[in-house]
Amino acid sequence: MFFRHEKKEKTNEVEEPLPQYVQNDAGIEYDDDLGVACPPHTTERKLVTKIDLHVIPFLCIMYLLAFLDRVNIANANIFGLSTDLHITTGNKFNTALVIFFVPYILFEIPSNVFLKKLKPHIWLSSCMFLFGLVTLCQGLVQSYSGLLATRFFLGLAETGMFPGAFYLIGMWYRRHEAQRRYSFFFSSTTLAGAFGGLLASAIGKMDHMRGYRGWRWIFIIEGALTCVVSLFFFFLLPNFPEEAKWLQPSERAYITARLRADQGHSAVERRTTMKDIGNVFKDPKIFVGGFMYFGLIVPAYGYAYFSPGIIKSYGYSNIQTQLHSVPPWAAAFAFAMVIAYVSDKARHRFIFALIPICICISGFAILIAVHNHKHVQYGALFLVTMGAYSAMPVIVCWFNMNLGGHHRRAVGTAWQVGFGNIGGIIAVYAFLAKDAPKYITGYSICIAFVSLSGISCAIYFVMCALQNRRRDKAPTDLGLTQYEMTELGDMSPTYRYQL
């Protein structure tokens, strides 16, 4: 158990009632390690499956479209974007990529605050419609300044997608259940990469149709698709467990109880204040968590934005380049799910973050050493994607699920993603046209930052283990009320971190 129970004292706090069932011969089921009764008309497995079907698919589709709209500029560039907008000289294309990250980084925390205040289905579907509209407009720009403007507003509209979805998933699952769901959601990025390559190869054949170049059709079609889907998602995206209307009251009470037993009271009923935000940053683990993610963002975005150009340097045509970009993404998806499954079964995160990190480093090492064997170089891209895109969801899940309570999780998750995405700026300028086709500088930078992520994971592991050991030895009966323990979240003396 990660959360130890203390006898509750009376407070003025209004809590969701626990299910009023007792174990008997009628078949009412209890979770063995929680002692919480499951409603008699269902089982825990069926309820978790019901949650999976209502939460994960819609968030995955939402983020797949968001990531597709974010990185399809790389596919569009293969079909002549830079040439038509006269940005082939200098680092203008890199600057267009970078400007996306400015609002994306700055507004992560405010976005999660709005998510909790406005309800997830309202906030996320609204953001989804806006970034789809901006993507469509990106296909109509006539100048470099127009491209910069659309990239800026795309970053602003997408700022709530990733941290919001991770925050929401974390409020539905117990910690030993979460990794498979996090990895499946995060693998939307790998599916977006694979789907984007296939879609771009098909749309690219529409070159000059109705007077538009193929790269414009990529933005127009993908942006319009996102806008249409967002209208349906206003009704389909989930809210928090306490607000889910597709659950019966007894089911909602049971799910809330099992989460409370695993992670403590969530305090969903109260708003997040500026004092809450400040208190979160008093915990040094928060900063370490940011560096864990930051180190992997550099290779992740480096690959997402520049892999079409890297693959094209191996001698493939435009269409062949798009098609060859698909298999590494597919391999990353499969490997991420294997890592997630084993990690959940072992109820451990550190080792399963470190193994993919080592695989990623080995891929970049091959790319630095080999320059005249395209099949070996292409194979190394598989190691890069499999490593980076398998380690990232483990790191985010590990950090996110170790944060107790709505306010600490909302702020901590947004901080990790926001700070981590500073790495996107570094990634954009790590791969410059003058370094093609070897990209020694870019690959070396990626190795350095992946190593930083590995070191940060080790530090975070030690910090969590030491705090668990210290709390095991310290007295837990400190006279704290349930309200006080709720306010402390994972800083409560009864909380134990997952390693």
Classify domain 44-491 by CATH number.
Answer: 1.20.1250.20
DSSP bridge pairs for 495: 3
Task: Please provide the average confidence, as pLDDT, over all residues in the chain.
Answer: 84
| pLDDT (average), residues 153-173 | 87
State residue 91's pLDDT score. 85
**Is the pLDDT reported for residue 21 higher than 70?**
no
Rounded to whole angstroms, how far apart are CA atoms 353 and 392? 8
State residue 33's pLDDT score. 47
Pick the closest to residue 186 from 488, 390, 329 (CA basis): 390
Q: Which of 164-168, 200-204, 315-319, 361-365 has the highest mean pLDDT?
A: 361-365
pTM of the model: 0.79
Helices 374-401 and 188-203 sit at what angle, rounded to 10 degrees? 140
Structure tokens given for 268 = 């969903």
State residue 267's pLDDT score. 52
Taking only the tens place, the pLDDT of each residue in 431-486 is 887 888 889 999 999 999 999 999 999 999 999 999 999 988 877 666 666 666 66
State residue 297's pLDDT score. 93
State residue 487's pLDDT score. 67
Pick the closest to residue 255 from 51, 489, 117, 22 (CA basis): 51
Pick the closest to residue 140 from 221, 211, 220, 83 (CA basis): 220
pLDDT-derived band at 57 (thresholds 50, 70, 90) equals very high
**Is the pLDDT reported for residue 286 higher than 90?**
yes
Q: What percent of the chain has pLDDT over 70?
A: 88
Inter-residue contact 406 to 112 (CB < 8 Å): no
Pick the closest to residue 181 from 364, 343, 362 (CA basis): 343
State residue 495's pLDDT score. 84
SS (H, E, C) the chain: CCECCCCCCCCCCCCCCCCCCCCCCCCCCECCCCCCECCCCCCHHHHHHHHHHHHHHHHHHHHHHHHHHHHHHHHHHHCCHHHHCCCCCCCHHHHHHHCCHHHHHHCHHHHHHHHHHHCHHHHHHHHHHHHHHHHHHHCCCCCHHHHHHHHHHHHHHHCCHHHHHHHHHHCCCCHHHHHHHHHHHHCHHHHHHHHHHHHHHHHHHHCCHHHCCHHHHHHHHHHHHHHHHHHHHHHHCCCCHHHCCCCCHHHHHHHHHHHHHHHCCCCCCCCCCHHHHHHHCCCHHHHHHHHHHHHHHHHHHHHHHHHHHHHHCCCCCHHHHHHHCHHHHHHHHHHHHHHHHHHHHHCCCHHHHHHHHHHHHHHHHHHHHCCCCHHHHHHHHHHHHHHHHHHHHHHHHHHHHCCCCHHHHHHHHHHHHHHHCHHHHHHHHHCCHHHCCCCHHHHHHHHHHHHHHHHHHHHHHHHHHHHHHHHHHCCCCCCCCHHHHHHHHHHCCCECCCC
Helices 120-138 and 214-236 sit at what angle, rounded to 10 degrees? 170
Higher-confidence residue of 262 and 390: namely 390
State residue 265's pLDDT score. 57
Taking only the tens place, the pLDDT of each residue in 312-324 is 888 888 888 888 8
| CA count, 13 A, side-chain hemisphere, 58 | 23
Domain map of the chain by residue range?
44-491
What lies within 8 Å, CB to CB, of 135 at 6+ separation is: 69, 72, 150, 154, 219, 222, 223, 226
CA distances to 209, 255, 269, 397 from 249, rounded to whole Å, are 54, 10, 17, 28
| pLDDT (average), residues 74-100 | 87
Pick the closest to residue 148 from 186, 221, 98 (CA basis): 98
Taking only the tens place, the pLDDT of each residue in 391-442 is 999 999 999 889 887 778 888 888 998 899 899 899 988 888 788 888 999 9
Rounded to whole angstroms, how far apart are CA atoms 185 and 203? 26
Pick the closest to residue 343 from 355, 358, 328 (CA basis): 355
Q: Residue 142, exposed/middle/buried by CB under 10 A (0-12, 13-18, 19+)?
A: exposed
Higher-confidence residue of 162 and 121: namely 121
Inter-residue contact 301 to 411 (CB < 8 Å): no
State residue 7's pLDDT score. 37
Torsion over CA: 149, 230, 122, 49 (sign): negative
State residue 3's pLDDT score. 40
Pick the closest to residue 340 from 219, 480, 173, 204 (CA basis): 173
Rounded to whole angstroms, how far apart are CA atoms 147 and 208? 20
State residue 75's pLDDT score. 81
**Is the pLDDT reported for residue 285 higher than 80?**
yes
